[in-house]
Chain A
C-alpha cells in the first residue's frame, strides 16, 4: 500500500465517476423540469453537492484519515455494521451494473437493434472485471488516460458555435418547466459518484490534497455539464429540447467532416470508457464493502461474484424505460447513502472522542 492517489488523479477520478450517460439526457431533463435557461440549474445541483463534499471532508479531518470501515466498526455493533455493508454491497454493485446496462441499451438503440443486449453487456462486464481487480491505483491511472482521450471531445463543440442563437436562451429563468423540486433532485443525481470518495481515505496522504481534489473534481464536472448544456440550449432551444430523449446524441449527429459524418455513433462508443470508470468504481466500492464481511475471500473472487451476480440481475429489466426506473430507484437510495454515511461517521467519531475524554477524566 505504498502507492497513494495523486491529487490530479483524484480530481479526474471524481469527474469520471460522476459523468456518464447522464450527460446525454441531462439537457432534456433540465429543459423539461426547469424550462427556460435550465442549464443554470446545474450550478444549483453542484452547490448542493459541495455541501455533501464538505461533510466527507469533515469525516476525513475529524477521523484523522482513519478508514471509513474502521470508523464504522469502532462505533457500531458488528451485526449492524455487517448489515450496513451488505446493503452497500448490493446497492453499489447494482448501481455499477445498471449504469452499464443503461449505456448498453442506448447503444443498442443506436446501432445493434438485433444483437442481444446480454451479449454486449457480457463483453462490457469482462472489461469491468479486468479493471476492478487492478485496484484503485490502477483504476486512477486508467481514468487519467481515459480523461486525456475524452477531454478532446469538448473541442468538437466549437463546431456548433455558429449555430448558437442568443434568442434561444430567452431573458427568462426557469419558466415553463414541470417542477423545480424534481428538477433539482434529478440534477443532483447527475453528480452522484463523488460519495465513493469516503472509501479513499486509506489510499491518500497529505499530498493527495483530498478535500481540494474533491472540489476540483466536482468543479470539472460542473464546468463540463454547464458548457455542454449551455451550447445545446443555444443550438436547440428549450422547447425543442423537451421533445428529445438523448439531445447530446442528436447534437453530435449534426457534425459532418469531409471524410466522416454522423459522429454520434463513434463518440457514444467512446463514452463507453467514461461509463466504464463509473461502473468500475461502484463495483470497486461494493468489493471493498463485501471484503469486510467475507474477509477470507480475495478481491478477485469477490469482484467476480459481484459482477456475475449483478449481471444476472441486469437481465431482468428488458427495456430502456425499465432500466431508467431501476436507476431512479437505486439512485434515490444512493442519495440517502451520500447523506447518511458522512453524517453517521461524524456522529460515531464525535461519540468516540467524547467517550475517550470521559474515560480520560475518570482515569485522572
Chain B
C-alpha cells in the first residue's frame, strides 16, 4: 500500500511541476480555463493585445478604468508604455498567472509577454449586525465574508503601524487567503511563529470557515471543546489584539479566530467591558451559574430520582412523587427523551426561517409542555429541569462552546442514570482530566486557574474596574505586559 501511495504522490507532484513548467502563453491559459463560461476573452488585434478575466470576480468600474479605457484611446506603439505603469505586473510564471486570474486579476497578453492587473471587486455583503453575538450596548458592526472589509474594520479600530497583517494561502484548490493580525511590539513571537507555521502547514483541498481552519491547527483534534475563540465582532477581535493575542481572518468567513485562548474566555462577552464593572461581574457570575445548571441540573435530577430520594426534602417529595406517578419510564430514559426533544426543537428552530421557527417553538412548547405531561409521558418537574438547562445553555455567549457543553451534558445524564451522584462526579472527573491536559499553542487551556494567575482572575471570573486591569493576560505571554501606565 505504501508503495502505491508513494507512486501516486510522485505522480501528483510531477503533474504539479508540469503545470509550473508550462510556458506563459495565451493558448495555454485558454486551455487551462476551457469550459469556464465566466471567462471573458477580448482581443484587440490592432494593438496585438488580448486579455482574459473571470467576469464574476471583477469590478465593472475597474475593468473600464484599467482595461477598456487605456487600450481604447492609444495606438500600437504606446501599448508597451502603458504596460510599464505600476499596476500592470509582468509575470513569466504560468502558475501565478492562473492564480492571478482566479483572484480577480486580468491577464493581458502583449506580444509574447503576460501582465496581470488587479480588477478584483465582487459584490459583498454589507457590514451588518452580528447574528450570534448581539449586544445591547456597544458597537453593532460585525465581520462579513470579505477579508479585506474585515481587516479594514480592525485597522479602523487599531491605528498603529505595529499592527501586522501576515497573509497565507490555504487550500490547494480553494487558495483561501488567511490573514494573521497581531501587534508586533506586544504579541509573543513564539506564538506568532507557531500560528504561522501551523496555518502554512495545513494541507487540504479547501477551507471555507475560520471555525473549520482552527480544527485543522488545534492541538487536541479529538476534544469536544473548542480550542480557539471565534468571534464575529471586530471590537472583540481588536481587544484581543491589544491583549497581545493573534487574530486570524479567513476570506469568505465572517468569523475571526483568536489564539491563544483559555476555557474561561468563552464565557466572556464584549458587553462586559461596556457595562459598569459591578453589573459585568454579576453577569459573569450568572454565566458561570448557567454553565453549572446546564451541565448538572438534569443529570442531578436523574441521580436524585433514581438513587438518592433521601436528598429531597419531605415538602417537595410529595409533589415529585405525584408528578412522576404516571410516568412509565425510568428517570434516565425520561430525561434523555426530553433532552433529545429539546435538541430537536433547537435544531429545527435554528435551521428554519424566523417566522416558521417561532411556530416550531410554540408547537413544541404546547405539545411537549402540555400534552406530554397529560399523556403521562413525562413529569412536570423534569420539563422544568430540562427547560431551565436549555435556557441556561443559551446564556453562554459562545455558540460553539454552548453546543459542546450540551453534548457533555448527555454523557453526564447517562452516568447519573447508571451510578447517581458517583456517576456525575466520575463524569466531572473525566472532563476535568481532559481539560487539564489541553493546551492552546502550548499554553494551558485552564489559565488562570491552572496554572494559577491571580492577576488574570480580575478579568476572568469577575470584571474588575478598569483601574485594576493594568496588565495583559498572562496567557498571551506578551513582551509588553502593561496595558496601563504603572503608577
Contact = CB atoms under 8 A, between A and B. Distances in A.
B231 interface: no
A157 interface: no
Interface string B430-456: 101111110000001010011110000
Contacts of A148: 449
A142 B436 contact: yes
Contacts of B310: 261-262, 265
Contacts of A269: 420-422, 424-425
Interface stretch (A78-86, A195-203, A252-260, A290-298): A252-260
Interface in B376-435: 419-426, 428-430, 432-435
A326 interface: no
Interface string A254-296: 0010111111011001101100100000000000000000000
A258 B312 CA distance: 9
B311 interface: yes
Contact of B450 (A111, A112, A144): A144
B307 interface: yes
A87 interface: no
A212 B263 CA distance: 30
A273 B428 contact: yes
Contact of B422 (A120, A142, A259): A120
A146 interface: yes
Given A131-B433, A272-B429, A144 B449 contact: yes
B353 interface: no
A213 B450 CA distance: 16
Contacts of A259: 313, 316
Contacts of B316: 259
B307 A141 contact: no
Contacts of A131: 429, 433, 436
Interface in A227-257: 256
A140 interface: yes
Give the most central of B312, B422, B430, B446: most A CB within 10 Å. B422
A50 interface: no
A124 B426 contact: yes
A120 B419 contact: yes
Given A8-B452, A9-B451, A265 B308 contact: yes
Contacts of A124: 426
Contacts of A361: none
B414 to A, nearest CB: 12
A127 interface: yes
Contacts of B444: 141
B449 A112 contact: no
Main secondary structure of the interface of B (DSSP, over half): helix
Interface string A81-122: 000000000000000000000000001000110010000100
A140 B446 CA distance: 12
Contacts of A270: 425
B451 A260 contact: no
Contacts of A142: 432-433, 436, 450
Nearest to B454: A8
A127 B429 contact: yes
Contacts of B434: 130
Nearest to A8: B452
A61 interface: no
Contact of B311 (A115, A120, A123, A265): A265
Contacts of B424: 269
Given A134-B437, A145-B432, A266 B311 contact: yes
A127 B423 CA distance: 11
Given A261-B311, A263-B311, A266-B311, A123 B450 contact: no
A138 interface: yes
Interface string A1-38: 00000101100000000000000000000000000000
Given A111-B307, A111-B308, A9 B425 contact: no
B420 A111 contact: yes
Given A141-B451, A144-B452, A261 B313 contact: yes
B422 A9 contact: no
Contact of A6 (B423, B432, B435, B452): B452
A127 B434 CA distance: 10
A278 to B, nearest CB: 13
Given A130-B430, A265-B311, A111 B425 contact: no
Given A112-B419, A123-B419, A273 B313 contact: no
Contact of A141 (B419, B420, B446): B446
Contacts of A261: 310-313
A134 B420 contact: no
B452 A260 contact: no
Interface of A: 6, 8-9, 107, 111-112, 115, 120, 123-124, 127, 130-131, 134, 138-142, 144-146, 148, 256, 258-263, 265-266, 269-270, 272-273, 276
Interface of B: 307-308, 310-313, 316, 419-426, 428-430, 432-437, 444, 446, 449-452
28 contacts: A8-B452, A111-B420, A111-B421, A112-B422, A115-B419, A123-B423, A123-B426, A124-B426, A131-B433, A131-B436, A138-B436, A141-B450, A142-B432, A142-B450, A144-B449, A144-B450, A145-B450, A259-B316, A260-B311, A260-B313, A261-B310, A261-B311, A262-B308, A265-B421, A269-B422, A269-B424, A273-B432, A276-B429
Given A123-B423, A259-B316, A261-B310, 4 more contacts: A8-B451, A124-B426, A141-B446, A144-B449
